[in-house]
A = this chain, B = another copy of it.
Amino acid sequence: MTLTRADCEALDRRDPLATLRSQFVIPPGLIYLDGNSLGVMPAAAPARVAQVVQQEWGQGLIRSWNAAGWMNLSQRVGDKIARLVGAAPGELVVADSTSVNLFKVLSAALHLARAESSGTHRGAQRHVIVSERSNFPTDLYIAQSLAQQHGGTLELLEGEDIPARLAGARGQDVALLTLTHVNYRTGRMHDMAALTAQAHAAGALTVWDLAHSAGAVPVDLNGTGADFAVGCGYKYLNGGPGAPAFVWAHPQHVSSAWQPLAGWIGHAAPFEFTPDYQPAPGITRYLCGTPPVLSLAALECGVDTVLAAEPLGGMVALRHKSLALTRLFAELVQTRCAGHGLRLVSPTEDALRGSQVCLARDDGAYAIVQALIERGVIGDFRAPNVLRFGFTPLYIGYAEVWEAVEQLRQVLDGGVWRDARFQQRQQVT
C-alpha cells in the first residue's frame, strides 16, 4: 500500500533521528537530495571557520600551528572519521584529495603485492589491478596511471564477474582489487567482507574507496580485514566544497608499504629539516604537504554532525533510516510516476543499496533534473541517462521524500521538462 503525505508526516513525527536536522542550515523551500555530491552546511561551520580565519590566522598567525592545534588537525579529524568506518584511533588521517590519496594507497598496495610475490618467487605473475568498469572515473584514471607506470595491467570487469576472476588459478596474477564500496552512479553496494576475503584467498590486496560510504552506511574496515581505504570529506561527511579527503592503511601494512608522495609533513621529524626522508610512524606518513587548514576546520564541523548521532544509535540507526528513505522513494516513484519510462537503477534489496536511488530514462534525464531543481528539489544528473538522488538521513525527512516524488510526478505529467530552458547543459548540476 502506497503511503500518503500524511503517513510520511507521521513517520517524521516518530523519527528518533529527527532532531539531528537542527544541526544544519537548510535553505528554505529546498528539498536537498544531493548530499552525496556536496553535503549541506552544518550550522556550526560559519562560526568555526570565522574563528579560524579571524582569530587563529588573523591574530594567532604562525603561533597557531601549536597554540590552535593546527599541527595535529589532520590526525584529530582523522580519529573522528575513524569512528565512522571501523578504524581505531591513530589509523586514519585527513589529507589531500581522494584522487591523491588513491595514488598513495594504490602505489603502496602495488609495492606490497610485488614485494610479497617476489618473496614467493612469483614475481612477474602478480601484475593485474582488478576494478569495476563502472567505478568512479578518478579511481580508474589513477589506477590506469600506475599500471602504465609500473608495467601492470588494469582489468575492468562487471561487478558480478569479480568473484570468479579472483577464484582459483585465475586469481593468481591479481595484485590488487580496487573498488568503490558504493557505486556513484547506481548506488549499488559491494559486500566488502566477502570480496576482501576472496581477494585475500587469491593472494591479492584490497583498496576501498569509501566516498559514498563514510557517514552513509556502516563500514568496518578492521572487521572486514580490508588493506587500504580512502574516502571523501564533502559528501555524507558534510565537510564543505572540496573538503580534504581521508586515508587509512591496515596496521599490518602501514609501516611496511612504501608510498611515493613523501612530503615533509609525513616525515618523522618535519622540523629537523634533514635532507633524507624518514617516514613518520604509522598513518602520519600518508600526509604529504601542509594541509588546507580552513577547509580542514570546516570538515571537522561536518564530521561532528555525523558523530552527533552516536547517542541515538550511530551509523546503525542512520543506516536504518537511510534504508527507509530510499525504499520509500523507490516505491513512491514506481507507484506515482508509473508509465513515464523511468527505470529503477539502484538495487531494491537493502543489503545491496547505499544511501541513494538512481533512475534511468532513455531521454530527458538531464532536463528532468533541471526542471526539478527549478522547483527546489535538488538531485543530480549523471551521464548518460541517470537521475541521481541521495538521501542523507541526518537531515532528510519522509515528507520531503513524498514531496520530491510529487514534484517529479508533476514535471513528468505536465511535460514541463520538455521546455527549452532545461535542455542546455552546464558543467555540473
Name A271's closest neighbour in chain B (CB-CB). B427
Is A158 positioned at the interface, with any CB of B under 8 Å from its CB?
A: no
By a CB distance below 8 angstroms, the chain B residues around A289 are 96-100, 138, 245
How far, in angstroms, from A56 to B66 measured CA to CA in the complex?
31
Residues of B contacting A207 in the complex (Cβ-Cβ under 8 angstroms): none
Stretch at the interface among A198-206, A234-242, A246-254, A345-353: A234-242
Cross-interface CB contact of A61 among B27, B137, B142, cutoff 8 Å: B27
B378 touches A241 (CB 8 A): no
**Contact among B63, B140, B149, B296 for A275, CB-based, below 8 A:** B140
Q: Which of A33-41, A335-343, A408-416 lies at the interface?
A: A33-41
Whether A57 pairs with B241 at a CB distance below 8 angstroms is: yes
CA distance A58 to B38 in the complex (A): 10
Task: Please tell me which one of the listed residues B46, B156, B427 contacts residue A58 in the complex, with CB atoms under 8 A apart.
Answer: B46
Residue-wise interface mask of A (54-81) relative to B, using a CB-CB cutoff of 8 A (1 in contact, 0 not): 1011110111111000110000000000
* Cβ–Cβ < 8 Å partners of A242 in chain B: 70, 290-294, 296
Q: Is the CB of B261 within 8 A of A426?
A: no
- The contact of A264 among B45, B137, B265, B277, by CB within 8 Å, is B137
Residues in A122-176 with C-beta less than 8 Å from chain B: 133, 135-138, 140-142, 144-146, 149, 156
Contacts known (A25-B58, A275-B133); A264 close to B138, Cβ less than 8 A = yes
Q: Nearest CB to that of A144 among chain B residues?
A: B277
Q: Report yes or no: B292 in contact with A61, Cβ–Cβ below 8 A.
A: no
Determine whether the beta carbon of A71 is less than 8 Å from that of B292. no
Contact of A99 among B38, B49, B288 (CB under 8 A): B288
Copies in the complex: 2
A137 to B234, Cβ gap below 8 A?
no
- Contact between B263 and A141, CB atoms less than 8 A apart: yes
Residues 270-299 (chain A) with a chain B CB within 8 angstroms: 270-277, 288-296, 298
**A141 surroundings in chain B (CB, below 8 A):** 262-264, 267, 277
The number of residues on chain A lying at the interface, defined by a beta carbon within 8 Å of a beta carbon of chain B, is 89
With both beta carbons as reference points, the residue of chain B lying nearest to A298 in the complex is identified as B294
Cβ of A373 to closest chain B Cβ, rounded Å: 7
Q: A240-B53, A272-B383 are in contact. Are A145 and B71 (CB under 8 A)?
A: no
Q: A194 contacts the other chain (Cβ, under 8 Å)?
A: no
Q: Which of the residues B37, B263, B426 comes within 8 Å of A66, measured between beta carbons?
A: B426
Instruction: Mark out the residues of chain A between 1 and 46 whose CB falls within 8 Å of any chain B CB in the assembled complex.
Output: 25, 27, 30, 32, 34, 37-38, 40-41, 45-46
* Complex CA–CA separation, A429 to B138 (angstroms): 38
Instruction: Output the least CB separation between A368 and chain B (Å).
Output: 16
Distance between Cα atoms of A327 and B264 in the complex (Å): 31
- Known interface pairs A41-B57, A70-B241, A242-B293; 11 further A-B residue pairs with C-beta atoms within 8 A, sorted by A's residue number: A32-B61, A34-B61, A37-B62, A53-B240, A99-B261, A99-B263, A99-B264, A137-B274, A242-B296, A271-B383, A292-B292
- Which chain A residues have a beta carbon within 8 Å of chain B's beta carbons? 25, 27, 30, 32, 34, 37-38, 40-41, 45-46, 49-50, 52-54, 56-59, 61-66, 70-71, 96-100, 103, 133, 135-138, 140-142, 144-146, 149, 156, 185, 234, 240-245, 260-265, 267, 270-277, 288-296, 298, 373, 378, 380, 382-383, 426-429
25 cross-chain CB contacts under 8 A: A25-B54, A38-B61, A41-B57, A50-B50, A53-B298, A56-B241, A62-B429, A65-B427, A96-B96, A96-B100, A97-B288, A99-B263, A100-B261, A100-B289, A103-B261, A133-B275, A137-B267, A137-B275, A138-B264, A140-B275, A142-B263, A144-B262, A149-B260, A241-B290, A242-B293
